[in-house]
Amino acid sequence: MRATALFMPTVKEDPADAEAVSHKLMVRGGFVRQFASGIYIMLPLGWRVMQRICGVIREEMDGIGAVEMSMPTMHPADVWQATGRYESIGQEMFRLQDRGGRDMVLAMTHEEVFTWLASRELRSYRDLPQIWYQLQLKFRDEPRPKGGVLRVREFLMKDSYSFDIDEAGLDKSYEKHIGAYDRIFARCGVDIYRVESDSGFMGGAQAHEYIAPSAAGEDRIALCPSCGYAANVELARSVALPPAEAVGAAPTGEATDAPREVGTPGRRTIEEVSTYLGIAPSLLIKALVYVAGDRPVMALVRGDHSLHESKLARYLKTEVRAAQAEEVRAATGAEVGFVGPVGLPAGTGLRVVADESLRPAPVGAESPWPGPRGYAAGANKTDAHLVGVVVGRDFQPEYADLREAQEGDGCPQCGRTLIVEQGIEVGNIFKLGTKYSMPLGATVLDETGRERTMIMGSYGIGPARIAAAAVEQRSDDRGIVWPKAIAPFDVHIVQVQAKDQVQIEVAASLHDSLAAEGWEVLWDDRDERPGSKFADAELIGCPVRVTVGKGASLGMVEVEARRGGDRLEVAVGECGVLVRRLWEACE
């Protein structure tokens, strides 16, 4: 492909509205352009990358016996009403009406249609198992698109759906996907962690996410380097360190006979109260008021911990939101910053849920802080806190895992130290069970003639996120270093002098011979300054560059790998061999 015939609008300066490295480089390299918030145009280079990623995905999906098809993106509302998601999803779904006033939606995912199809066409256990997939657009009205192509409102996704007669079959389909996904990400050159995840609005029993570590990612995952435990922090279990740093820091931590009130004028935050009272944050109780459904709930974590709202929501089995200042006042009688579990106004019946780390140690348990632990907490009186509060004596909360796992916590499996990493969710897999097949009546007859509801799984991968993750993980200060399997071209020929007849001939014959060997070749024949052409080649990031310049008249060209290493001068006839060698050495 000649560059003069390719539309590749590169840009020298970073776009003003880009933050993430991948966003900047994909815009500058002429891969994508933003059309509207969260809606992107894939330019020729970007589309080639997408096609290559999709090609890898297709090969691996086909390899586990999945079959590709294509589903509509506009659905009548009734299928979504049947599964209850029409009501439960809310504003994230694009909705519209047809001319007859019928409610329609733009698909955010395709469980409903695939299950609808399965319910009509699969009749016998002999038809199972099935794995169906597609590469299709999804529409989600994200509240906040960001990070270029990372979080968008319209995007391509590989989604697959498995249909099995029983749980054992689902387990097999799930395992097959794990195998395929491992190969897909490895081939695409993206490092990933497979972590336990929340099944969220997909519902279902078990779920994993594939997280590509990157600073641009929105997910945080807790990892145990010792035993391999890996989970999204939104559900990661972990063992809190004891508040050891406070040991001996009298008068804190001592259990007096009863809580004692102390004045804390204007000290609301953990840090302010901690400093003012001279008590370590880990010996403070952080009390947060939430509205769960329509009722207020008080959630407690230790002062050095963070509450994870989705853990609270999962425990309460309802959506939660932070209470407004007036709601806090109504529930506790105190201003925000001074609320606590002791001394709540009588009769409110406020539900109090404490994180497990606040549960009193069993008698005789080994602890660096033997005996009851006295905490400081809000007094439910503006400008006052209580010290010497003993959990279980002064108040009786429910206990649940509410805290966000943090770096340094103990691994729930082996007890060693957890680390926390940030990353991009590039894929996920869910065991759905009968969440969709039941309401849509997707059943088959088993060998005894009995009607059985199919057991389903669903599995997603975001090709554009793979591309962005690859850029995030592989770029350098000059531009992108594409993994070889997903680069827009394999070989980038830079012809230094566009009008030099010898160089034209050498470049043309190289282009043709390399293409004949099966390489995708980009031939930069533009009449640009050499400096721009080199800079563009590095920005665009194809694995191997061949420079046709001064040496051409002597039959010599230069070959080098984008990832670094020597620039080798070789005779034109040797070029193909060297290209292969360098390409094979690339990741």
Which positions touch RNA (CB under 7 A)? 10-13, 15-17, 19-20, 34, 36-38, 92, 108-109, 138, 140, 142-147, 151, 157, 159, 197, 200-202, 209, 218, 309-310, 319, 321-322, 425, 428, 460, 462, 478, 496-497, 499, 528-532, 534-536, 538-539, 547-552, 558, 567
In the complex, minimum distance from the CB of residue 347 to RNA, in angstroms, rounded to a whole number: 29
In the complex, minimum distance from the CB of residue 536 to RNA, in angstroms, rounded to a whole number: 5
User: What's the token pair of residue 93?
Assistant: 């779904």
User: What's the token pair of residue 252?
Assistant: 């804190």
Q: Which is nearer to RNA, 322 or 438 (CB)?
A: 322
CA distance 424 to 36: 22
In the complex, minimum distance from the CB of residue 309 to RNA, in angstroms, rounded to a whole number: 3
User: What's the token pair of residue 162?
Assistant: 């498995």
Q: Which is nearer to RNA, 539 or 544 (CB)?
A: 539
Angle at 401 between CA 398 and CA 406, to 5 degrees: 145
In the complex, minimum distance from the CB of residue 540 to RNA, in angstroms, rounded to a whole number: 10
CA distance 533 to 102: 54
CA distance 429 to 207: 6
In the complex, minimum distance from the CB of residue 319 to RNA, in angstroms, rounded to a whole number: 7
Beta strands in 273-418 (DSSP E): 285-292, 295-302, 320-322, 351-355, 375-381, 384-389, 398-400
Nearest to 151 by CA among 34, 270, 275: 34
In the complex, minimum distance from the CB of residue 558 to RNA, in angstroms, rounded to a whole number: 5
Q: Which is nearer to RNA, 11 or 96 (CB)?
A: 11
Q: Which is nearer to RNA, 393 or 478 (CB)?
A: 478
Q: Which is nearer to RNA, 108 or 444 (CB)?
A: 108
In the complex, minimum distance from the CB of residue 216 to RNA, in angstroms, rounded to a whole number: 9
The CA dihedral of 479, 482, 488, 493, to the nearest 10 degrees, is 70
Q: Which is nearer to RNA, 136 or 380 (CB)?
A: 136
Q: Contact 207/430 with Cβ under 8 angstroms?
A: yes
- What ranges in 387-484 are assigned the alpha helix state H? 463-474
Question: For 418, what's the count of Cα atoms within 13 Å in the CB-facing half-sphere?
Answer: 28
Radius of gyration, alpha carbons of the chain: 30
User: What's the token pair of residue 213?
Assistant: 């570590």
Q: Which is nearer to RNA, 139 or 229 (CB)?
A: 139
In the complex, minimum distance from the CB of residue 584 to RNA, in angstroms, rounded to a whole number: 22
* Residue in the block written with tokens 């435990």: 229
In the complex, minimum distance from the CB of residue 324 to RNA, in angstroms, rounded to a whole number: 9
In the complex, minimum distance from the CB of residue 549 to RNA, in angstroms, rounded to a whole number: 2
CA distance 164 to 132: 12
* H or E stretch covering 423: strand 419-433
User: What's the token pair of residue 308?
Assistant: 């994870």
Q: Which is nearer to RNA, 21 or 279 (CB)?
A: 21
Q: Which is nearer to RNA, 58 or 478 (CB)?
A: 478
User: What's the token pair of residue 400?
Assistant: 């649940």
Helices (H) and strands (E) counted in the chain, each on its own, are 13, 29
Q: Which is nearer to RNA, 126 or 321 (CB)?
A: 321
